[in-house]
Amino acid sequence: MTERYTVISADCHAGADLLDYRPYLESKYHEAFDAWAATYVNPYEDLLADAADRNWNSERRVADLEADGIVAEVVFPNTIPPFFPSASLMAPAPTREEFEQRWAGLRAHNRWLADFCARAPGRRAGVAQILLNDVEEAVREIRRTREAGLSGGILLPGAPPGSGVPELYSEVYDPIWGACAELGIPVNHHGGSASPPLGEEPAARAVFMVETTWFSHRALWHLIFGGVFKRHPSLNLVLTEQGSGWIPGVLDMLDYYHGRLVAAATKASTAESKFGSGLAESMGKGPSQVWRENCFVGASFMRPHEVPLRDRIGLDKIMWGSDYPHDEGTTPFSREGLRIAYAGLPSEEVAAMVGGNAARVYGFDLPFLDRIAARIGPTVAEIAEPLKEIPPEATSPAFALGGSVRVW
């Protein structure tokens, strides 16, 4: 163990400034892009503020992350891709007429992201974007982006009720899973991307906060019960910014239903037998075993109440993230965020959760990053010291724990 931790943020966000996407679009879309951009009103205040350039200013970003003790990052999208009404994580499902332009917009983002990652060699794993409406096009884009240098895998779009695309357990997506498995890149499912539209009533935002992580969790049981990991045993699924404390309980629940339905299928006279028919053959291994072999969690700013569950979640599964540059992220207090979560733990466990696991999942060159961490990484002694005072300027939920109050 070295004197400093090699910290890789498994949850960061970036994207181009709106007009800077134009050169990355195929020329046949330039006229439509100009018309769209001329009337577009950005709905996000943080993308209009002076700090917005943290999304695309490579030099500022490296400096910010290094000041925070972070040597590398997994880069999810954040800004508005061409022809989208809002950030792609939150954009409503497109109409059939919008599909072509939306695809062009995502390809432009992916091209921009490849260039952005190349500006910090070995320190950024960019996550490519796809749509689910055209599986063949998705597979082409997966292969193209991997060849272009994006090593973060793909961002799996949500398929909320009413989305108009098949559910994630559908075998229609097998070519997507197969391509990712073949290329050795993960399928990432990010929190906030799978909720159905809730309208504009006053309660909508509160209901969204209560339900949004649950809708994101659905990808786990859809892919498990859909037999995806039996057909593609080397595929990795990463669930990011959805918390981690829920995992042991959900795995217990999934194991219960799996056992119950498989057993019921052997008793043709029961009313429940039809629910388990064919399940054992199509799934193969049970949910907990699939989790152990194929799944990971981008736990982001792990909360103190989640840390005691680390053995049940799997120490080799947990990947810390700062959520830079979001307000709910830990920047510029990531060292304090690490201390409030991990102080007092064995240093080898901390090293795995803050960087080692992410290096393995996303293919980072750990010896290369270790050399950078020797200069800017937080020290083992620093993170071992319990945090006694929360920085007053901190805005992350990582610091929202007070006394014995549990923050979900």
Bridge partners, 4 (sequence order): 379
Q: Determine the pLDDT at residue 311.
A: 98
Percent over 70 (pLDDT), the chain: 98
Give CA–CA dist 226/109, Å, rounded.
30
Q: Determine the pLDDT at residue 109.
A: 98
* DSSP-assigned letter for residue 393: T
Intra-chain end-to-end CA distance of the chain, in Å: 33
Q: Determine the pLDDT at residue 47.
A: 85
Using a 10 angstrom Cβ sphere, with 0-12 exposed, 13-18 middle and 19 or more buried, the burial of residue 288 is middle
pLDDT exceeds cutoff 50 at 406: no
* DSSP-assigned letter for residue 14: E
Residue whose C-alpha is closest to residue 130's, from 160, 148, 157, 150:
157
**For the residues 12-32, what does the mean pLDDT come to?**
97
* DSSP-assigned letter for residue 377: S
**Per-residue pLDDT band at 2 (split at 50, 70, 90):** low
pLDDT-wise least confident of 89-103, 108-122, 141-155, 238-252: 89-103
Q: Determine the pLDDT at residue 59.
A: 98
**For the residues 334-355, what does the mean pLDDT come to?**
98
pLDDT exceeds cutoff 90 at 161: no
Residue 332 or 44, more confident:
332
pLDDT exceeds cutoff 50 at 105: yes
Look up the pTM and report it. Answer: 0.95
Three-state DSSP at 27 gives: helix
Average per-residue pLDDT for the chain:
93
Task: Report the chain's C-alpha Rg in angstroms.
Answer: 21
Read off the pLDDT of residues 208-225 as tens digits, 9 standing for 90 and up. 989 999 999 999 999 999
Fold entry, domain 7-399: TIM Barrel (3.20.20)
